[in-house]
Amino acid sequence: MDTEHPEQLDFRKRTFDFAVRIVRMVRALPSDPVSRELGKQVLRSGTSVGANARSAKRGRSAAEFAAKMGIVEEECDETMFWIELLIATETIPEERANALLAEAEEILRITVASIKTSRRNQRG
């Protein structure tokens, strides 16, 4: 039986779905060398968001949870950078990436809030 709270399950599903969307976006990129390289970067960081969120849940302590969620924060922010660069270089149309950027921003907000809560709980 899974003991995760509904909001944890929702977050895990959101980060997994985010990774799926990143994979689909990368598959649709042009095949020129620059697009392929940028695609590798966004694929690595974007899928890492979900993998590290899942790993954070398995943390043995609040400190380990906060550390893993710190990685989620970094990878999500990096993913946003690569998506913004793909837009700025006109590799993907902005309107096609806006929903993905909005979801990354929401995941980032949730992650930061979770880290703050975890640290607050550690103190007292």
Note whether residue 1 is domain-resident.
Answer: no
pLDDT 10s digits, 9-25: 799 999 999 999 999 99
Residue 30 pLDDT > 90: yes
Note whether residue 105 is domain-resident.
Answer: yes
Domain count, the chain: 1
- Distance of CA 14 to CAs 3, 20, 76, 93, 119, Å? 18, 10, 13, 23, 23
Note whether residue 44 is domain-resident.
Answer: yes
Note whether residue 48 is domain-resident.
Answer: yes
Domain span including residue 41: 6-119
What CATH number is attached to the domain comprising 13?
Answer: 1.20.1440.60
Cβ(102)–Cβ(49) under 8 Å?
Answer: no
CA distance 23 to 27: 6
Cβ(12)–Cβ(57) under 8 Å?
Answer: yes
pTM score, whole prediction = 0.89
